[in-house]
Amino acid sequence: MQAVILAAGMGKRLGKKTQGHTKGMVDIMGRSFLERSLDLLCTTTRLTRIVLVVGYEAQEVKNRIGTRWKEVNVEYVENKDYEKTNNIYSLWLAKDYLELEDTLLLESDLIFEKSILQRLLESPDPNLAVVDKYQSYMDGTVVKMNKRGEMTALISKTHFDFSEINSYYKTVNIYKFSREFLREQYLPFLEAYITAVGKHSYYEQILKVLLTLEKRDIKLLTLHGEKWYEVDTLQDLRVAEEMLCNEGEQKLTRTSARYGGYWRFPRMKDFCYLVNPYFPPQRMLDEARQSYESLLRNYPSGRGEIDALAAEIYGLEVEQIVVGNGAAELIAALLSEPGWGKVGLTLPTSQEYSARIMDPNSVLCFHPTGNAENPFSYDIQHLLSICDSVDSLILINPDNPSGNFIAVDDVLRLIDCFYSKGKRILLDESFVDFSSEGEANSLLREQILSKYPNLVIVKSISKSYGVPGLRLGIVASSDIQLIQRCKEKLPVWNVNSFAEFFLQTFPKYRTDYREACHRLAQARESLIRELAKSSILQPLPSQANYILCKVLPPWISSRLAQQLLLSDFFIKDCSGKLGMKNSPYVRIAVRSEEENAELVRVLNGFSSGEHHNLPSHKS
């Protein structure tokens, strides 16, 4: 068995990274792509030789790799016409080697796990293409297969049909070919294609030609969670670096610094950011999908129409509500307004508020006394006790990250007390729909707002309604002047067409939403029970879509978050959070029952001493 690696390309999309380097020699986490691939090849199988097809900056490759790699001879084929040709020509230049013996063929811009090569070599099938189930972030050649695992179609970019993506598999660009297949089928067609069509195509085209002859000699080796990535752009490079990172602290820092975009890591389970996994329903998604092109190509309505849609949903007057590009945009606009005076703020809490208060010296931080069940709990009496010490109060109910909840009647008492003294209350109800009584616990009602003009309510639609990608939030109050000033701070088009469509269609799905919140509350209670059985975590009571958990010795919160991330589970380490510095707590989002069960299974594995680190390809 020999290995042939195509490494002649210039990698222009990597910009300065490939100035003076071919793509395969670009450094990634302290080692080049080529060096990583060579190490894995040499430790997985006994190779007779490694053939590198080089072109751009060929001498650098030869200088760094040399003629031996871990006792395996390295030989070179040079594509001097690399600027004007594609990889079909590079492969053709290596044809003399391909006739000699069975071959592993791969490209030089890949990261992949050792286990992929092991499965490839252990398979009795002589001709295999490694593929993975197609994901939205993938680019390039996709294939289809039959029930016998044989390749039946090779789909180019021009013939890609999004309606068929469930049947598509992306080629990983790692192949195993027998000597007989190469000599009798592949190479003759490669020679004919080069002669008839030219040097400017890709070697997958030969597989496509063979399929037209109803050849079924190539089977597909489908991955089952093994990690790999093909790097074409600088963004790809950043993603690949995070995938390769096996140092827990660094990986957690990198992942946290992204603040989202985790759809590019389809195997990662995001238990950090807070959403509703049971809404929107499939029918609502299908309705939006049908309108996608129209929404994409047209301007959304102006701010006034968007506010009117939200007012209808919540039964408010349009003058009482303003819609933002996420609650964060509105919190910044609100707290930049005068009139808040000395602000009471319970710690720990969402740092979006403490970070946006204009004068940090005007904040009175209130630390709950707690109880045996929940050290971060507080009730109406605690809040009433600071009424005379502040000019306004920020209350998140349920609170974040503690999940502490104050009943509606008590919140109304608090609002009434502050109102009688001419003081404001900012009430954040982003998570209230997940509480035991659901929407019945919300004070987002016209009669309450009209009665208490000192009350300002914030609600993150992204968190409650399961649409964080839309970036929607609202602020409501009968302080019309305050609402108007907030509106004036926002651009006319601060909300996109997709968000507008969601607000427009939501009333039809209100019943589905209530059922979704009820399902999440059930999932939360089930997850609390399961986590309580763990020897690692002690969950606190919660009325939100997350659970604050104390990490039990000998574990510490940061180490647990790091280890879980190495197993593709991302949770929130709270040890650096304001009001929780160095405390042994993590916050875990509630997701679907299936995902929650996966997390519990991994935690139980930690309890029993099992290892859940990433595979050895990271070394």
Q: 582-618 pLDDT, tens per residue? A: 889 999 999 999 999 999 999 999 987 754 443 332 3
313 with 424, same domain: the answer is yes
Torsional sign, CA 301, 328, 522, 572: positive
Query: Measured between alpha carbons, how far is 358 from 352 in angstroms, rounded to an integer?
Result: 12
Phi, psi of 155, deg, nearest 5: -105, 115
- The CA distances from residue 131 to 168, 175, 295, 505, in Å, are 10, 9, 34, 39
Instruction: State the sign of the Cα–Cα–Cα–Cα dihedral 246, 249, 254, 259.
Output: positive
- What is the end-to-end Cα distance of the chain in Å, rounded? 24
Same domain, 261 and 232: no
488 with 546, same domain: the answer is no
Q: In this predicted structure, what is the pLDDT of residue 56? A: 94
More confident residue, 96 or 246: 96
Give the model confidence (pLDDT) of 502-529 as tens digits.
999 999 999 999 999 999 999 999 999 9
> Could you tell me if residue 362 is inside a domain?
yes
Within a domain: 132: yes
Residues 189 and 78 in one domain: yes
Domain stop point among 469, 493, 511: 511
Which residues, at least 6 apart from 236, have a Cβ–Cβ distance to it below 8 Å? Answer: 229, 230
What is the C-alpha separation between 9 and 324, in angstroms, rounded?
46
Return the pLDDT at 333: 93
Cα torsion at 139, 144, 149, 152 (round to 10°)? -130
Quick check: is 242 in a domain? no
Residue 393, in any domain of the structure: yes
Q: Quick one: 552 and 535 in the same domain? A: yes
CA distance 540 to 585: 10
Neighbours of 119 (CB within 10 A): 17
Q: Distance between CA 337 and CA 326 in Å, rounded?
A: 18
Same domain as 161, residue 37: yes
In a domain, 458, yes or no: yes
Number of alpha carbons in the 13 Å side-chain half-sphere of residue 210: 22
> Does residue 243 lie within any of the structural domains?
no
Q: How many CB atoms lie within 10 A of CB 590?
A: 27
Element (H, E) at 382: helix 380-384
Among candidate residues 487, 511, 535, the one where a domain is terminated: 511
Last residue of a domain, one of 511, 531, 553: 511
Give me the CATH number covering residue 201: 3.90.550.10
495 and 531 share one domain: no
Let me know whether 324 and 435 are in one domain. Answer: yes
Report how far apart, in Å, the C-alpha atoms of 391 and of each of 73, 143, 302, 485 are: 77, 65, 35, 20
How do residues 499-509 score in pLDDT, each as one tens digit? 999 999 999 99
**Average pLDDT of the residues of the chain:** 92
pLDDT at 610 (0 to 100): 57
Taking only the tens place, the pLDDT of each residue in 170-216 is 999 999 999 999 999 999 999 999 999 888 888 888 888 888 887 67
Residue-level pLDDT at 209: 87
**Could you tell me which of 326, 330, 366, 323 has the C-alpha nearest to residue 347?**
366
User: Could you identify the residue written with the tokens 């069960």?
Assistant: 597
Pair (229, 291) in one structural domain:
no
* β-sheet bridge partners, residue 151: 145
Residues 26 and 168 in one domain: yes
In the block, residue with structure tokens 């209670």: 525
- Whichever domain contains 540, its CATH number is 3.90.1150.10
Reply yes or no on whether the pLDDT at 619 is more than 60. Answer: no
Q: Is residue 415 part of a domain?
A: yes
Which burial class, exposed, middle or buried, applies to 380 when counting CB atoms under 10 A from its CB (0-12, 13-18, 19+)?
middle
- Is the pLDDT at 341 greater than 50? The verdict is yes
pLDDT at 98: 96
Q: What CATH number corresponds to the domain at position 343?
A: 3.40.640.10
| 325 lies in the same domain as 404 | yes
Q: What is the pLDDT of residues 438-455, one digit of tens each?
A: 999 999 999 999 999 999
How is residue 377 written in tokens? 């709990």
Q: Residue 580's pLDDT is what? A: 86
pLDDT of 360 reads 72
What's the structural domain count of the chain? 3
pLDDT (0 to 100) of residue 611? 44
The residues near 292 (Cβ < 8 Å, ≥ 6 apart) are none
Residues 190 and 296 in one domain: no
pLDDT in tens, 144-171: 999 998 888 888 878 888 888 899 999 9
**What is the per-residue pLDDT for 158?**
81
Q: Given pLDDT bands bounded at 50, 70 and 90, which one contains residue 490?
A: very high
Task: Classify 186 as helix, strand or coil.
Answer: helix
Average pLDDT of 84-96?
A: 93
Q: Kindly state whether residue 418 falls inside one of the protein's structural domains.
A: yes
Angle 291-292-297 (CA atoms, 0-180°, nearest 5)?
105
Q: Which residues 6+ apart lie within 8 Å of 413 measured at CB?
A: 380, 384
| The pTM of the whole model exceeds 0.95 | no
Give the CB-side neighbour count of residue 226, counting CA atoms within 13 A.
Answer: 21
| Residue 76, beta-bridge partner list | 52
Q: Of 99, 100, 79, 96, which is closest to residue 88 (Cα–Cα)?
A: 79
Residue at 612: amino acid letter: H
Dump the DSSP string for 410-436. Answer: HHHHHHHHHHHTT-EEEEE-TTGGGST
In sequence order, the β-bridge partners of residue 75 are 51
SS3 162: helix
Give helix then strand counts, H and E, for the chain: 24, 27
Domain containing 401 equals 282-511
**Total count of residues recorded for the chain:** 619
What average pLDDT does this structure show over 374-399?
93
